[in-house]
């Protein structure tokens, strides 16, 4: 009975509430959401930092992915090797990343949904963009923290010369929240940043003269601008994407073909063709005599030969209506600002990047001054 006096009675609902909140914040801060400053989640940041520490610069030799994954898992990221390798693969895929961070050698998957080769077969190194993200990291420009086992240290954020969050976008599902940020053209972002630096009171409508909308790696078209305006002004919006198709005529056979050369972002080409073939088979789309894939390393080319007398625009509109050749991108501009998830406007995202770069430049200058005084 005496031992019972030392027991603390805790309500089950209170314990569940506190435990769930701890788990939720761990997922939000530690895995699922990008930092507004460098646009990276922890696994991507650790991957780039580990590769930099291994000396895998863009002008150096490739290194086996298995070696890279082992280095990251052993020193920085105490999770499964598949999660680490998946992040490496994604940063090397030109159809997923507007500006790839990793230069991969070997089979890193395809737009058809083909899986990458096992990590023991592929090799990788950093791209020049990744080197720009890491530039000046050895000049006390960012804070470091102990790694999971306190055997080393890792950066809290990268110096990030490039506005990566908007350049490459990001997506992730946390507990009770999600982010889905589209990629943009780097040149347009730089123009927008310069305009913001010149005029801190610039409106989002004025910023859109420099940054008219997202720029997806698989190209395609954005149908309408209202979704873009809503996303930039409120942090939420639905952007309608369409693939691009041209009409080719065969004068000798008096027939025309629809040729799809660009797809909406994250649309699987093989599944798109399966969907089109199913609609043709079920006679929901009539007037197509042949469907074939002529894609090669030079680009996408999906050909639909039309029967004589068919009007290409009618077939194309049917494809937009019934297949993933038209899809929507639900934009949520959610990112971590000082470890707190926030939905941001376009202007707020640019401001967070500029504040980060200002801090990096000030700290770099202070470091260089300190070294100069030590040499004097």
User: Which residues are tagged catalytic?
Assistant: 121
Nearest by Cα to 37 from 340, 365, 239? 340
Nearest by Cα to 197 from 376, 354, 367? 354
User: From residue 5, how far is each of 10, 11, 14, 15, 261 by CA, in Å?
Assistant: 14, 17, 21, 20, 75
* Phi, then psi, of 285 in degrees rounded to 5: -120, 115
Those residues whose C-beta lies under 8 Å from the C-beta of residue 315, and which sit 6 or more positions away, are 258, 285, 287, 288, 304, 306
DSSP line for 219-273 = --EEE-SHHHHHHHHHSEEEEEEE-EEEEEEETTTTEEEEEEEE--TT--HHHHH
Q: Do residues 128 and 103 lie in contact, with contact meaning Cβ atoms separated by under 8 Å?
A: no
If DSSP codes are grouped into helix, strand and coil, which group holds residue 281? helix
Those residues whose C-beta lies under 8 Å from the C-beta of residue 46, and which sit 6 or more positions away, are 72, 76, 77, 154
* Phi, then psi, of 352 in degrees rounded to 5: -65, -40
CA distance 77 to 147: 8
Within its chain, how far is the Cα of 81 from the centroid? 20
Q: Do residues 84 and 119 lie in contact, with contact meaning Cβ atoms separated by under 8 Å?
A: no
DSSP line for 168-196 = H-EEEE-SS-EEEE----HHHHHHHHHHH
Place of tokens 């230069």: 103
């Amino acid at each position: 009975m005496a031992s019972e006096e030392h027991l603390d009675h805790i309500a089950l609902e209170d314990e569940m509430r506190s435990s769930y909140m701890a788990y939720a914040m761990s997922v939000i801060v530690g895995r699922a959401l990008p930092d507004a400053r460098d646009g990276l989640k922890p696994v991507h940041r650790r991957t780039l930092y580990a590769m930099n520490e291994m000396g895998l610069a863009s002008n150096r030799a490739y290194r086996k992915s298995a070696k890279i994954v082992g280095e990251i898992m052993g020193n920085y990221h105490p999770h499964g090797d598949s999660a680490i390798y998946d992040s490496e693969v994604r940063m090397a895929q030109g159809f997923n990343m507007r500006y790839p961070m990793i230069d991969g050698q070997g089979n890193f998957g395809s737009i058809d949904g083909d899986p990458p080769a096992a990590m023991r077969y592929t090799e990788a190194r950093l791209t020049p963009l990744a080197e720009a993200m890491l530039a000046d990291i050895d000049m006390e420009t960012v804070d470091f923290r102990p790694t999971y086992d306190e055997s080393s240290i890792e950066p809290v954020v990268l110096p990030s010369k490039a506005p990566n969050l908007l350049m490459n976008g990001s997506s992730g599902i946390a507990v009770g929240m999600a982010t889905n940020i589209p990629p943009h053209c780097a040149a347009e972002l730089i123009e927008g940043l310069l305009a913001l630096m010149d005029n801190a009171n610039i409106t989002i409508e004025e910023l859109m003269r420099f940054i008219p909308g997202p720029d997806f790696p698989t190209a395609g078209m954005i149908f309408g601008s209202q979704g873009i305006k809503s996303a930039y002004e409120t942090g939420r919006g639905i952007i309608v994407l369409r693939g691009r198709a041209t009409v080719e005529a065969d004068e000798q056979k008096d027939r025309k073909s629809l040729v799809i050369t660009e797809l909406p972002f994250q649309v699987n080409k093989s599944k798109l063709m399966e969907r089109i073939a199913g609609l043709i088979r079920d006679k929901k789309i009539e007037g197509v005599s042949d469907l074939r894939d002529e894609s090669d390393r030079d680009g996408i080319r999906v050909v639909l030969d039309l029967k004589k007398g068919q009007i290409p625009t009618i077939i194309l509109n049917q494809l937009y209506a019934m297949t993933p050749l038209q899809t929507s991108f639900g934009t949520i501009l959610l990112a971590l600002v000082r470890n707190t998830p926030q939905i941001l406007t376009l202007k707020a995202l640019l401001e967070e990047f500029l504040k980060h770069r200002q801090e990096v430049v000030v700290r770099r200058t202070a470091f260089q001054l300190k070294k100069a005084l030590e040499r004097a």
